[in-house]
Amino acid sequence: MDLKKWEQLLKMTDAEWGDYAFCREPLRNKLTFEQKTEYIRKAIESGIEQAKYLQDTYGKMDIPEYIQKLSLQVTKENAQGMDDYLVFARYNYPRDITLFTMNIDAVNTMLTQENYWEQVENVKVENMLLAHEMYHFLEETRENVYSKTKKIVLWSIGPFKYRSGLVALSEIAAMSFAKELLNINYNPYVFDALMLYPHDSERAERLVEEILRFSNGAGGNE
Ligand SMILES: [Zn+2]
């Protein structure tokens, strides 16, 4: 592991991770730079807002306790995902979350082997994934959650306007929600790369390079 590079990932701001998230957004070309910047900021706030809502409603508790409070059903599947895609967790409307435990076990083992727990603030990977998916539940079931209500007009004919949401906003908000609930100092997006590492370390290192291009911090734009 090129530890220096991974350290830079941990230092990236939420807004920089937002830029990274948008590089996978199918509708990114429909937005101006200013719009994108504003939407990222509001998605980050949306995640924090929903975390505060949970804490205000139920008090501060561990992630599994929130899962219970919200009556979410968690299923563990001893698999790596579906259709050749690595998947770590998935939310299905209305109340189902699936955890793909092979990937979670692999990343836990890897963090131990690389002696990397301190850097990730001893986060419980499973709880981080549960928190992320819990956000998707909240945005689907609560009123007026920004990451869901924000729509852009794709085209219009006369009085008809065709609008679409932006997937990236949901992902940015879910990460910011998990970060807030877990009370950690880095963006859990880091696990995009960390979880790939046990499966394909070279691809993971290449992903790290790619992500660092979105970092304005020291060394990010080399
Ligand atoms: Zn997600």
- Asked whether the beta carbons of 125 and 119 are under 8 A apart, the reply is no
Distance (Å) from CA 217 to ligand 1 centroid = 26
Rounded-to-5 percentages of helix, strand, coil across the chain: 55, 15, 30
* Contact yes or no for 79/88 (Cβ under 8 A): no
Q: What is the pLDDT of residues 97-119, one digit of tens each?
A: 999 999 999 999 999 999 999 99
C-alpha 174 to ligand 1 mean position (Å) = 6
Position 222 scores a pLDDT of 39
Question: Ligand 1 centroid to 158 CA: how many Å?
Answer: 35
Show the tokens assigned to 127: 């709880």
- The H or E element spanning position 49 is helix 33-58
Cα of 170 from ligand 1 centre, angstroms: 7
Calculate Rg over the CA atoms of the chain.
18
pLDDT in the model for residue 165: 94
- pLDDT score of 81: 67
Torsion angle of the four alpha carbons 150, 142, 182, 206, in this order, in degrees rounded to the nearest 10:
-40
- Token pair listed for 198: 């046990």
CA of 157 to the centre of ligand 1 (A): 33
How far away, in angstroms, is 80 Cα from ligand 1 center?
16
131 touches 177 (CB < 8 A): yes
Write the single-letter amino acid at 130. Answer: L
Question: Ligand 1 centre and the CA of 14: distance in Å?
Answer: 15
How confident is the model at residue 221, as a pLDDT?
41
pLDDT number for residue 206: 94
Structure tokens, 68: 């219970």
Ligand 1 centroid to 161 CA: how many Å?
27
Place of tokens 């306790």: 65
Collapsing DSSP to helix, strand or coil, 152 comes out as strand
Domain coordinates of the chain in residue numbers? 3-212
Cα 194 to averaged position of ligand 1 atoms, centre (Å): 16
**Which pTM was predicted?**
0.93
Enumerate residue ranges in the chain where pLDDT < 50.
Answer: 218-222
Centre of ligand 1 to C-alpha 160, Å, is 30
